[in-house]
Chain A
């Protein structure tokens, strides 16, 4: 297993390098001079000032050299200064990341638990109204724009019925666990909706398939109760495809977080990214891009490891 892990990690390196090359190329193909974005416009910079800043930022070097420079600093955790407020990019990310991580973990937890529960329910009650309801709802939430659902939820649940806060991470001056929890209920659910809707379908079809499989029939024939069959034998096998999908759903989670954090005014990475894009804050954009990719790549490796845990038949090779 360790050899497998090491091989996967080694394989991840070219993928991550590829990602940095692509994002670097996209950012640097942008029209306009980054030096001008970096500088304070109101100080009426002369051409000389601009040249000086270009030199300081290394913009006078050829693109491949700039990339290597950037990469060299990036591996040491130095992503340069934000164009927007001249603070180190890594500081800004360190401030924002905890919010996003907590939200993402909560919503993964909620999403996957609910997905398995609903999926099992739908499979066990296949082709009944319960199944149809779950299927229709999940189809609806997979296809509805997430920001739209979020806005409706705020308007109804927070403003109209006054059940939960409208936005933000916590009430200023409170910040107790209960207060934060209240603030996070809606964003967590909204962010988890896609996973719930998408994954529960996988669980359902996977479970239906295994319930028809030979070994389950054998178990039933041996006289095992249907609950035992479902939970002990069939579910374990049905979860295998789900685990592979978890890895693939991470980028979508990141994308959902961008929108969710914006709608709910949460100060996380998604919000940082949207602001960075709006303000053409290139060092921040490229750093976030890289970090999120790293997260996804490792998420995938983790998913593969879990794959072996749920399915002992799989050997690392």
Chain B
């Protein structure tokens, strides 16, 4: 008679808690690059008053149109204002418009999407027609039209870009809710009498956050680009506030004099900010939402 076989316990090798993170980051270099750019941008925006070597709006005619050099890294404009300091301060406007407008779009769009997807019926039909109507406008044209109507101010630019972002969130959320609402755990929650609002907020919403995080990152990139375009057209913050788009517009008059540095700083800053959020968004999409993964 043989003794009953005991379950064999195989000791697992001790794992370094950071090894999985390192593995993840090695497989996602885009996340590191995009995340680093975004973090640097946020740091610059937060600490611009301490980092900027000069007052961004102080006029100093004696130093007008100085090319880039040791005293002014990115040169000065025609009023002697330090371009580097204006770029650093400009990041506050671009990032705050980006983040606030995305928050507006997120809150409104996700609310509409959750309600339309869960309730269905007439509300869904009407809400989606409104979303279709918003999608009928080219995004930037709609942002220009709204800002022009409300008046050229930074708050209005935020509202305009936020409204433009609403359809993306609403459609994405609705689609996700439709795919989740028939799942067993939702049916079970409904069967035991959980109130609809609680089902939506506690059971459905946490299951769609991955896709929404990706959308929020990518739409921040769009929001920064849209803000700079509105500012370029004179529909954003007004002078003398430092703003990337507005500063590029202002530099146009000195283009024929080859004063290229006036626009180089703000132009590269816009590119880096948009690139960082796009890169991070793409990497997050690959990591968090495999169904949306790009081919090739």
Do A and B share a complex? no
- Interface of B with A (CB < 8 Å)? none
